[in-house]
A and B are shown apart, each in its own frame.
Chain A
C-alpha cells in the first residue's frame, strides 16, 4: 500500500491513552487456576463418599443389598480389569454418539428452518418447546411398537429427546442476534446467506452451545432409559449391565455401573461443553479472562 502515515503530534498522546486503557490480564498460573476449580469438586465427591460410608456403617440397609464405597470400587476395578465395563461403555457411547449426532443434524436443520420461515415458526415453534417438556421415556412404548426391540427404537427416542433442545437453542440464538450487528454486517455486504454465515450463526453460537449442552443431558437420560427397556441380544450397554447386576443380585456391580454412568455424564457435561462454553464466554468478553 502506498499509504505512509506522517507522524502527527496527537499520535504519541493516542498511544499513551491506548496503553493506559488496554486491559492487562492478571497473571495467574494455569496450574493454580485448574486447582482452584478442581478442589471444590474433589471435596464434594469426598463428602458424598463419606455420607455413603456412614449410611453403610449405620446399617441403614443390610450390607449385601447396600454395599459401601469400598466394595463398589473393588467391583468397579474388577469390571474394568476383565473388560466388561469397557465393552458396555463402548456400546453405550457408540449409541450416544450416533443418536446425538443425528439429533444435532436434525435439531440444527429444524432450528434454522423455523428461525427463517415465519410459517414454520407459527406451525411448529411451540410444538418444539412442547416436545422438550415431554419425558422422553414416554416415547418408548410407541418406539417399541413401531421399531421392535432394535437399535432404531433406542436411537429414535434419543433423537427425540435431544433434537428439540438443540433446535430451541439455535432458534433463540438467531432471534437474539443484536440488530446492530446485523446492520453492521449489511453495511459490510453480508446479506442473505452471507449474513447467516458471517453474522447470524456466529452470533447465535453461545445460545446454540447452551442448547447442545441441554440436548446432551436429554440424550443421555433417554439412552439410559432405552438400554433398560430395550434389550438387544449381544449388545449389552451400561443400562443393560445395570439391570442385569440387579437381577443377578450383584449389588456392588450395580453401584459400580452407576458410578460409571454418573462419571460419563459429568465428564461430557463439564469437560466438553463446560470448557467450550467458558472458552466462548471468555472470547466474547462475557467473563473476565482470569476468573
Chain B
C-alpha cells in the first residue's frame, strides 16, 4: 500500500476533473420522525465537493451538519435526494476520537487495515508509517486512555488514513481540544491534505477555524438545514488563524450566521 502523494501545485489536469465531483449531493433532505413531531434536519441541500477540495460546513449547533456528514458517510439514509460518492467509501472522524479502548494505539490503526484485508506481513510497516505521519512514533504500544485528547484525535486521523479513503469527513474533530493543540492540529491536517490530495469535508461551528482551513466555506441555516451562503476563501496558504485576513472573512461570515439565527428566532 502506498498513500500516493499527489502534488497540488501541478500543471497537469487532475485526472478526476471533468469526471464529476468527489461528492455530489442532489436535493438531499432528512426528516427525523413523522407527523407533527417531524424534524426537518436537512432540507433540499445540493452540493458538490470537488476532488482535492477542502470544504468547511459551518452553522449553528443543531442545524444538521452531523446529519449531512452521516449521510455522505453512508451511516444514515437520506429521506429524499441522492448522495453520490466517488473514489471509494469515505471515512469519518468524530468529535470524540472513538478509539477502541481495548486495543493499543497500534492495533486501533491496524484494525482498519485488517478490515481492508491487508496482509498481516504488510500491516506492521504501514501502521508504523501512519503513526509517523501524525507524529506519534513511539506511542504505538500505549492504550488510548494514556494519551491526551489531541493525541487520541491524531490516532483517529491515522486510523482514518489507514482506510485509504480519498474522502475525509470530519465532524467538529477539534471541538473538544484546547486552543493551542487545535492550532497545531490545523497545521497537521492542512499538511496531510496537501501531501495526500484528499477531498475533505470539515464540519465546525467555529467560523475562524473554517476560514483557516477551507478552500470554500458553506454556511448552513437551521431548521430546516439549508445552504444559506457560500464563501470562497482566497487567502494564500499557509494561513494563520490569528491573521487579519482570516479575521476579516470570519467576521463577515459570522455576521451572516448571526442574521440566519436571528431570522430563525423571528420565524418561530
Contact = CB atoms under 8 A, between A and B. Distances in A.
A183 B145 contact: no
8 contacts: A3-B3, A3-B195, A5-B133, A11-B135, A17-B181, A21-B151, A189-B115, A284-B145
Interface string A66-78: 0000000000000
B263 interface: no
A18 B143 contact: no
A188 interface: yes
Interface in B174-217: 180-181, 184, 187-188, 191, 195
A54 interface: no
Interface stretch (A126-134, A195-203, A240-248): A195-203
Nearest to B90: A187
A218 B161 CA distance: 47
Interface residues of B, number: 50
A189 B102 contact: no
Q: Is the interface of A mostly helix, strand, loop or mixed?
A: helix
Contacts of A181: 98, 100
A194 interface: yes
Contact of A186 (B75, B133, B142): B75
Most central of A10, A183, A187, A189 by chain B CB within 10 Å: A187
B3 A14 contact: no
B3 A1 contact: yes
B187 A10 contact: yes
Interface of B: 1-5, 73, 75, 89, 91-92, 94, 96, 98-103, 111-112, 114-116, 125-126, 129, 132-133, 135-136, 139, 142-148, 150-151, 159-160, 163, 180-181, 184, 187-188, 191, 195
Given A187-B92, A284-B101, A285-B146, A17 B111 contact: no
B13 to A, nearest CB: 22
A205 B102 contact: yes
A14 B146 contact: no
Contacts of A23: 146
A14 B102 contact: no
Contacts of B180: 17
Given A1-B2, A23-B146, A180 B96 contact: yes
A202 B103 CA distance: 9
A14 B184 contact: yes
Interface string A149-184: 000000000000000000000000000000011011
B151 A22 contact: yes
Contact of A190 (B115, B136, B181): B115
A10 B184 contact: yes
A283 B102 contact: yes
B146 A188 contact: no
Nearest to B159: A188
A1 B142 CA distance: 24
Contacts of B112: 188
B1 to A, nearest CB: 7
Contacts of A184: 94, 98-100
Contacts of A189: 89, 115-116, 163
Contacts of B135: 5, 11, 14-15, 18
Q: Across chains A and B, which 3 residue pairs bring their CB atoms closest together, nearest first?
A: A285-B145, A21-B148, A184-B98
A189 B73 CA distance: 11
Nearest to B99: A184
A248 to B, nearest CB: 52
Contacts of B188: 10, 14
Given A21-B151, A187-B92, A188-B163, A5 B146 contact: no
Most central of B101, B145, B163, B191 by chain A CB within 10 Å: B101
Contacts of B129: 1, 3
A183 B94 contact: yes
A10 to B, nearest CB: 4
Contacts of A203: 100, 102
